[in-house]
Amino acid sequence: MTKERKNEPRNSCARRARGTADRRIGQEGQSFTRVLFTGPGEDTLENGLRLRMLETVLDILMREELREQRSGVCTSSVWASMKPEPDGLYEISFSFGSDPERAQKL
């Protein structure tokens, strides 16, 4: 017996409130911190280029500040994207691993 599916598009991703930040801190030997920002964004070439430039600058700043200045992390990551469907959102996040005792400070 199979279920019939409606041929309607659906968003399988969890919806996030626009303009909010999501931060998670681990509790074990190594903590993984991820900060995520989302907001409304029109998927245009110009906006895509701006987002890529922001991603590049944040990647450099994260590396210089967290790794080289504070000696707090071995690796960091920055990621950015535009999601034109269904609502037109941008997402940008950065993450890093650290000692759980230093995660809040970093």
Is residue 9 a part of any domain in this protein?
no
**How many domains does one find in the chain?**
1
CATH code for position 48: 3.30.300.100
The backbone torsions φ and ψ at residue 92, rounded to the nearest 5 degrees and listed phi first, read -140, 135
Q: What residue numbers bound the domain in which 87 lies?
A: 31-101
CA distance 54 to 58: 6
pTM of this structure = 0.63
Is residue 106 a part of any domain in this protein?
no
Is residue 56 a part of any domain in this protein?
yes
Q: When comparing pLDDT for 73 and 33, which is higher?
A: 33
Is residue 20 a part of any domain in this protein?
no
CA distance 26 to 104: 10
Residue 83 near residue 36 (C-beta atoms within 8 A): no
**Location of structure tokens 């200045």:** 69
Is residue 5 a part of any domain in this protein?
no
Maximal C-alpha separation, the chain? 61
Q: What is the DSSP letter of 25?
A: -
Is residue 70 a part of any domain in this protein?
yes
* Beta strands at 76-83 and 21-24: parallel, antiparallel or unpaired: unpaired
Q: Please choose, from the candidates 92, 102, 46, 40, the residue with its C-alpha nearest in 3D space to the C-alpha of residue 71.
A: 102
Is residue 21 a part of any domain in this protein?
no
The pLDDT tens digits of the residues spanning 44-78 come to 899 999 999 999 999 998 888 887 777 777 778 99
Is residue 86 a part of any domain in this protein?
yes
Position 10 confidence tier, pLDDT thresholds 50, 70, 90: very low
